[in-house]
Chains A and B, each alone.
Chain A
């Protein structure tokens, strides 16, 4: 199968390349030369870029099939131009044994749309007490180990988990949250939570945990990726940690660079997120940190939630927002607001997450896997339930007009999505 993408604006964030060119694909890889194509896609007026790599998308399998299925969410991924997803282990049961990981990978492979990279549980059942069999899980295909949104409260266990992971060079992905401090909280502790009468989650819930974790990185040498930073203070701490040359990286949920606690309005449960939306100052610091590279990449934090679990009083509503199909337009919106070149904007959702995952995709160069997205950067569309393939229609952006529509998605040289 040979594919020719003709006349598009080819943007390769890794090298900064941005020019009108053809891309030739053979045997699932970007080819250096040109030959006779079996299929040609006309990309005139469109952007041709590496497919998006999303480090946090809940596909709800195994276990939460009533919220969404692997089938629908893989459709959502490729419709959003996402060609690789890492999925956190907070499935039911959690990804803490190789059989589950193997099953997930097989199911994903059979659907042959986006590539799926399972993140294994760091502790058995995510209970924060016993270490999961990391070597066995890595052999089954886990690319990192994580506690998802269930922080370890026992710091002895956290220390040992990082020591053990460091022994074998396994990356550990952590959310910085002090569970004692966030207990009962449902919104950022501040003016808005006080006005709405919602129990608060102080910003230092994140920084206290982050300080502990950074100290453990210092003593164990573990490679840690911090997930979903939410505060300005945490961005500052990451900046200092990187200056110190600690082996750390971090990401932000793309919603968090656009929204703040003000968006809760009159208890909009679509804004019930974990971590919570914080102050406008925090939002601005996250957006700036993502631009200057302190924050390495942006993720969708895709979490499909069924309507019944959102149509509840704010504190009782389930956390999370759907995001796979919004990652590209929201990244473009962020880049446009900061006047960044397109290559730099796209780096945060392609080459940078690829570097953290340690994969060869996320770039357009000879020999790299042919995982590509072709999109119209200017075409605006309205976010509404019918426009989303995901089973989860829950997003604070419902009703927004966003620019950036995917026309085609290619994984391993095969067209897996084409806009009708």
Chain B
């Protein structure tokens, strides 16, 4: 008795209206975003780092959950597109006064927004917002609960394509706290859509969600076995509050089993790249020599993130 639900991210022409998740996005749209991002890569290296694509448009950064780096990269991306950026840290304003999520959005919408960049602690919150904004307004998910962080997933895809060119011959491992990771989910959907033949998740049973194999991944609990033959190793951040409790005994023990060291990395392919969405916990999920070593592309990821966010914003704003 299932209802047929239309993909809420696409407009009637099948174009990107909102970016809520990498799941359900056709291959063509993923590639359109990556190609557009590539065309912006030059802009960020110029002396005048601006293009006029979004002149006169307003981007509202609507963060219901604290974030510095994601919010900043969205802000830089919007400014490089010549948009006006308004940053709202909602967790300390209206929500504490009891205003509902939809009332907050309706009020901001009355201030003539074009793009809402939304981060929220509850999975699915950007879907609720997308259902209630006006037809010319666009929602970009900047992270919702443990569900999705699509621009992070896209910048990871961008980095992988940049260094590895062809998706269809790769083995990619995602290591650590998959259970709580929106980054992992967004990357998995992107990788499977783009034809990566083997996506692995590695972690203890307590951090691997039930039924994850249905997303098209292979589950490994032993990191050494899981890393064998990998071209790309993505380390996930382990949140402080999950280090001691029912999920894990300690950060030290986690590092012993699942921390990426030079010795473990040697089990992957010789030219493997190491990624991390940041911020890193050195000595918990990753050892400093690896984080700063020749395989690491962690800092380039941050740079790519700006072009990718420029691409997403300009594409959705252009689909009005």
* Chain B window 137-158, contacts with chain A (Cβ cutoff 8 Å), 1 for yes, 0 for no: 0000000111110000000000
Asked if B122 contacts A266 (CB within 8 A), the reply is no
| Contact of A196 with B by CB under 8 A | yes
From B101, B102, B123, B212, A267 is in contact (CB under 8 Å) with: B123
A197-B144, A267-B128 as given contacts; A315 in contact with B123, CB under 8 Å: yes
**A197 and B145 contact, Cβ closer than 8 Å, known pairs A189-B210, A313-B123, A314-B123:** yes
Q: Is the CB of A314 within 8 A of B1?
A: no
Can you list 9 A-B pairs with a CB-CB distance of less than 8 A? A191-B211, A193-B211, A198-B124, A198-B147, A266-B8, A311-B100, A311-B102, A313-B123, A313-B145
Q: What residue in chain B is nearest A192 (Cβ atoms)?
A: B211
Query: Which residue from chain B places its CB closest to the CB of A258 in the assembled complex?
Result: B1
B120 at the A interface (CB under 8 A): yes
Q: Is the CB of A190 within 8 A of B5?
A: no
Interface set of B (CB-CB < 8 Å, partner A): 1-3, 5, 8, 23, 100-102, 120, 122-125, 127-128, 144-148, 182, 185, 209-212, 214-215
* Distance A193 CA – B128 CA, assembled complex (angstroms): 17
Asked if A193 and B5 make an inter-chain contact with CB atoms under 8 angstroms apart, the answer reads: no
Contact A197 B3 (CB under 8 A): no
CB distance from B275 to the nearest CB of A (A): 21
In the complex, besides A197-B144, A266-B8, 7 extra interface pairs with C-beta distance below 8 angstroms are A198-B146, A258-B1, A259-B1, A263-B1, A267-B124, A267-B128, A314-B122
Asked if A265 lies at the interface with its beta carbon under 8 angstroms from chain B, I say yes
Q: Judge whether A312 and B101 touch: CB under 8 Å.
A: yes
- Min CB distance A146 to B, Å, is 29
- Whether a CB of chain B sits under 8 angstroms from the CB of A392 is no
Q: How far is B4's CA from A263's CA once the two chains are assembled, in angstroms?
A: 9
- Cβ contact of B127, chosen from A258, A262, A267, A316, cutoff 8 A: A267
Determine whether A367 belongs to the interface, using a CB cutoff of 8 Å to chain B: no
Q: Which residues of A contact B102 (CB under 8 A)?
A: 311
Q: Which residues of B contact A36 (CB under 8 A)?
A: none
Within 8 Å CB of B120, what residues of A? Answer: 313
| Residues of B with C-beta under 8 A to A292 | none
Main secondary structure of the interface of A (DSSP, over half): loop
Give the residues in chain B near A266, CB-CB below 8 Å: 5, 8, 124, 127
| Interface 1/0 per residue, A306-325 and B, CB below 8 Å | 00100111111000000000
- Cβ-defined contact, A265 with B122, below 8 A: no
A315 and B122 contact, CB distance less than 8 A: yes
- A interface residues with partner B (beta carbon < 8 Å): 189-200, 202, 258-260, 262-263, 265-267, 308, 311-316, 399
Q: Which residue in chain B gives the minimum CB-CB distance to A263?
A: B2
Report chain B residues within 8 Å CB of A259.
1
Q: Name the CB-closest residue of A to B120.
A: A313
Q: Are B8 and A191 in contact (CB under 8 A)?
A: no
A371 to chain B, nearest CB (A): 30
Q: Which of B23, B145, B148, B215 has the most CB of A within 10 A?
A: B145
For the complex of A and B, 9 pairs with smallest distance between CB atoms: A197-B147, A313-B122, A267-B124, A191-B211, A197-B146, A197-B123, A313-B125, A194-B209, A191-B214
Residue of B nearest to A190 (CB): B211
Q: Cα distance A190–B213 when bound, in Å? A: 10
Interface centre among B3, B5, B214 (most CB of A within 10 A): B3
Q: Using CB atoms, name the residue of chain B closest to A283.
A: B1
How far, in angstroms, from A365 to B210 measured CA to CA in the complex? 52
Please judge, given known A-B contacts A267-B123, A313-B128, A316-B122, whether A194 and B147 are in contact too, CB under 8 Å: no
> Secondary structure of the B side of the interface?
loop
Chain B neighbourhood of A200, CB < 8 A: 209-210
Contacts of A194 in B (CB 8 A): 209-212, 214-215
What's the nearest-Cβ distance from chain B to residue A102, in Å? 36
**A191 neighbours in B (Cβ, 8 Å):** 210-211, 214
Decide if B125 touches A197 in the complex (CB within 8 Å): no
Residues of A near B8 (CB, < 8 A) are 266
- The CA of A320 and the CA of B90, in the complex, are separated in Å by 29
Q: Which of the residues B3, B100, B101, B215 comes within 8 Å of A265, measured between beta carbons?
A: B3
Nearest CB on B from A411, distance (A): 32
Q: Return chain A residues, CB-CB under 8 Å to B146.
A: 197-199
B residues near A260, Cβ cutoff 8 Å: 2
- Report whether A197 and B214 are in contact in the complex, using a CB–CB cutoff of 8 Å: no
Residues of A within 8 A of B147 (CB): 196-198
Q: Measured between C-beta atoms, what is the minimum distance from A262 to chain B in Å? A: 5
Are A311 and B128 touching (Cβ within 8 A)? yes
Are B211 and A312 neighbours in the complex by a CB distance under 8 Å?
no
- Residue of B3, B101, B148, B209 touching A313 (CB-CB under 8 A): B101
Q: How far is the CA of A199 from the CA of B123 in the complex (A)?
A: 9
- Chain A residue nearest in CB terms to B122: A313
Least distance between A19 CB and chain B CB atoms (Å) = 33
Q: B182 contacts which chain A residues (CB < 8 A)?
A: 197
Point out the residues of chain B lying under 8 angstroms from A199, CB to CB: 146
Residue of B nearest to A259 (CB): B1
| Shortest Cβ gap from B217 to chain A (Å) | 11
The smallest C-beta distance from B191 to any residue of chain A, in angstroms, reads 15
Q: How far is the CB of B30 from chain A (nearest CB, A)?
A: 18
Which A residue's beta carbon lies closest to that of B210?
Answer: A189
Residues of B within 8 A of A314 (CB): 122-124
Query: Contacts of B122 on A, CB cut-off 8 Å?
Result: 312-316
CB proximity of B175 to chain A, nearest CB, Å: 17
User: Which residue on B lies nearest to A189, using beta carbons?
Assistant: B210
Known: A195-B185, A313-B120. A190 touches B210 (CB 8 A): yes
A199 and B210 CA atoms in complex are apart in Å by: 10
Residues from chain A with Cβ under 8 Å of B3 in the complex: 263, 265, 399
Which residues on B sit within 8 Å (CB–CB) of A312? 100-101, 122, 128
CB distance from B237 to the nearest CB of A (A): 16
Given A267-B128, A311-B128, A313-B128, are A196 and B5 neighbors across the interface (CB < 8 Å)?
Answer: no
Decide if A195 touches B23 in the complex (CB within 8 Å). Answer: yes
CB contacts (< 8 Å) of B101 on chain A: these are 312-313
Contact partners of B214 in chain A: CB under 8 A: 191, 194-195
Q: Report A-chain residues with C-beta under 8 Å of the C-beta of B215.
A: 194-195
- Which of A196, A308, A311, A399 is within 8 Å of B123, CB to CB? A196
| Chain A residues positioned under 8 Å from B2 (CB to CB) | 260, 262-263
Contacts of B212 in A (CB 8 A): 194
Which residues of the other chain, B, contact A399 by a CB distance below 8 angstroms? 3
Whole-angstrom CA separation of A267 from B3 in the bound complex: 13
Residue of A nearest to B132 (CB): A311
A308 adjacent to B145 (CB under 8 Å): no
